[in-house]
């Protein structure tokens, strides 16, 4: 089985980290390739960034179909391009926010999302609603660390831990969902510190795709996610 993990941003070090975290959980015989689009924003933390990265995400899934991948993960917490990617993929396509929120629903009464910047909170709430889990999402909290500083800022870990602790208290929740693929490597450490389940969407999405492929399940091509007619494009 081959799974293509698409990091919608173009920061190569983050793509490498996402690949490591994905391979750490994938099963025997599963090949995981982590890629990012050849052009696009270095991080996704606004509606504008999401719109700008989506064509690159879809291109990676289209090329993945030619390359023979069995399924795809969209490794950015806003799940940019997810629905368009489903239209062009035969196998399953899973976004990390969707996988993390659905996984968290198994683990407690409610969950808190800890995201990067405050401006991403509205979109996170919107997607929780669209996935039907907004009743379980007790709160969305920002640690105010930009995506590209998650690795370089020596205070980042500590700030994320503080944000998780205060989210659990403020929301009265019992599970933490990490709101950025760039936090994937902190998941084990945070669950040890917090003593509650901490869900990393990269791991959750990879295992969800793996499970769906093993079950022989792919994206339904009846109706909304049928292959769309490819249209003539005007201009460059």
CA–CA dist 45, 22 (Å, integer): 22
Site for ligand 2AL in 169-228 (CB under 6 A): 179-182
Q: Which of 24, 32, 66, 62 is nearest to 210 (CA)?
A: 32
| Binding of ligand 2AL by 120 (CB under 6 A) | yes
Q: Give 106: exposed, middle or buried? Use CB within 10 Å, 0-12, 13-18, 19+.
A: exposed
Q: Of 49 and 210, which has the nearer Cβ to ligand 2AL?
A: 49
Binding map of ligand 2AL across residues 126-165, x = CB under 6 A, - = no contact: ---------------------x------------------
| Binding of ligand 2AL by 71 (CB under 6 A) | no
Token digits of residue 139? 């709160």
First-to-final CA distance of the chain: 36
Q: Which of 159, 151, 149, 196 is nearest to 177 (CA)?
A: 196
Kindly list the distances between the CA atom of residue 187 and the CA atoms of 44, 68, 175, in Å, as whole numbers in the listed order: 20, 31, 12
Stretch that binds ligand 2AL, among 30-38, 40-48, 102-110, 168-176 (CB under 6 A): 40-48
- Provide, rounded to whole angstroms, the least separation between the CB of residue 34 and ligand 2AL: 13
Q: Is 48 strand, coil or helix?
A: helix
Q: Of 43, 112, 173, 219, which one interacts with ligand 2AL (CB under 6 A)?
A: 43
Which is it for strands 2-6 and 175-178: parallel, antiparallel or unpaired? unpaired
Q: Of 102 and 225, which has the nearer Cβ to ligand 2AL?
A: 102
Q: Of 69, 72, 77, 111, which one interacts with ligand 2AL (CB under 6 A)?
A: 77
Q: Of 120 and 173, which has the nearer Cβ to ligand 2AL?
A: 120
Q: Of 155 and 220, which has the nearer Cβ to ligand 2AL?
A: 155
Residue 64 dihedral angles phi and psi, to the nearest 5°: -60, -35
DSSP 154-175: TTHHHHHHHHHHHHHHHHT-SE
Q: Which of 206, 190, 148 is nearest to 26 (CA)?
A: 206
Binding map of ligand 2AL across residues 86-115, x = CB under 6 A, - = no contact: -----------------------------x
Q: Of 168 and 180, which has the nearer Cβ to ligand 2AL?
A: 180
Q: Of 21, 74, 76, 136, which one interacts with ligand 2AL (CB under 6 A)?
A: 76
Q: How many angstroms from the chain centroid is the CA of residue 160?
A: 18
| Binding of ligand 2AL by 15 (CB under 6 A) | no
Q: Of 147 and 168, which has the nearer Cβ to ligand 2AL?
A: 147
Distant-in-sequence, close-in-space partners of 149: CB < 8 Å, separation ≥ 6: 156
Q: Please report, as ranges, the residues that interact with ligand 2AL according to CB under 6 A.
A: 9, 43-45, 76-77, 115-116, 120, 147, 179-182
């Amino acid at each position: 089985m081959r799974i293509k993990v698409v990091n919608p941003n173009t920061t190569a070090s983050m793509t490498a980290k996402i690949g490591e975290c994905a391979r750490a959980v994938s099963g025997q015989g599963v090949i995981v390739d982590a890629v990012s689009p050849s052009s696009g924003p270095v991080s996704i933390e606004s509606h504008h960034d999401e719109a700008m990265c989506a064509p690159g995400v879809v291109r990676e899934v289209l090329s993945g179909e030619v390359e023979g991948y069995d399924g795809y993960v969209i490794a950015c917490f806003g799940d940019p391009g997810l629905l368009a990617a489903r239209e062009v993929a035969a196998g399953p396509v899973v976004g990390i926010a969707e996988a993390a929120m659905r996984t968290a629903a198994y683990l407690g009464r409610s969950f808190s999302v800890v995201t990067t910047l405050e401006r991403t909170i509205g979109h996170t709430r919107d997607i929780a609603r669209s996935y039907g889990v907004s009743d379980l999402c007790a709160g969305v909290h920002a640690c105010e660390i930009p995506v590209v500083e998650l690795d370089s800022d020596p205070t980042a870990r500590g700030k994320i831990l503080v944000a998780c602790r205060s989210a659990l208290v403020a929301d009265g929740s019992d599970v933490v969902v990490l709101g950025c693929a760039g936090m994937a490597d902190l998941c084990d450490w945070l669950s040890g510190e917090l003593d509650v389940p901490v869900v990393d969407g990269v791991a959750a999405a990879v295992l969800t795709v793996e499970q769906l492929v093993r079950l022989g399940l792919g994206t339904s091509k009846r109706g909304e996610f049928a292959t769309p007619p490819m249209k003539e494009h005007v201009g460059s």
